Amino acid sequence: MTADSCTFPGTSLMFSRIPSLSRVLVSLLFLLPLGSLPVFAAEAGGDYTLSRQYGSVFFRVMFQQYLNMVGRFDQYAGTLFLDPDNLANSRLTATVSMASLNMAEADVTETLVNSSSWFNATLFPDATFTSTSAVVTGPNQVDFVGELAFLGKTKPWTLHVTLYGGSDGELGGSTVGMLGNGTLNRMDFGLDQYRNMAADEVNIEVNVKFNRN
């Protein structure tokens, strides 16, 4: 070995013209066992944005006491702050475009979206939920408690949620799945017409995924 080169013990590897301090550091790193090197894991959880890919948002209401009338909304957005170590710190916001309602019969869709007796989407285009607290109810299960703004009224509302770990397998990875359901009384929001046709209780089902920002 010369002043301008060094050979690592037990190898034929030679590095030339490495300053003395750098040569010492490289030698030490070369001799360290691989398992002793630090491994930096990605931080779990954080801020997520809802993706409509593969997702769905439905409502169901008993119609004329013999079937569940089902409607699907195709335009919606949301954000999730997820703390996988303490789900009670998590937060959720969601917005649904009422004009994006999709049903089997176009005439029924048109009536529900535009009639002043129903969604009146020209005047009230969106329904928005904002959580104010999160209550852990089981493993990966949370009740997001907050306020639902719909048809010009804001009322307390709760979305019961089960969270899934996505492709990473662990809750808090790059993708989080959410299956949620809640119930509202349409009378609370001024939908008080045609009670002989549609039940007061409306069920909401949310099946979506969130991608980490």
Determine contact, residues 57/50, Cβ cutoff 8 Å.
Answer: no
Residue 152 is assigned to a structural domain of this protein = yes
Nearest to 125 by CA among 96, 164, 165: 96
Higher pLDDT, 106 or 38: 106
The CATH number for 127's domain is 2.40.128.110
Q: Does some domain include residue 11?
A: yes
User: Rounded to whole angstroms, how far apart are CA atoms 29 and 36?
Assistant: 10
Query: Residue 170: its pLDDT value, please?
Result: 83
Q: Name the residue range of residue 14's domain.
A: 5-36
Same domain? 57 vs 124: yes
Give the tens place of pLDDT for each residue, 1-22.
555 555 545 555 454 454 554 4
Instruction: Quote the CA–CA distance of 3 and 20 in Å, as a whole number.
Output: 9
In a domain, 41, yes or no: no
Do 121 and 89 share a domain, yes or no?
yes
Count the domains in the chain: 2
Asked if residue 18 and residue 66 are part of one domain, the reply reads: no
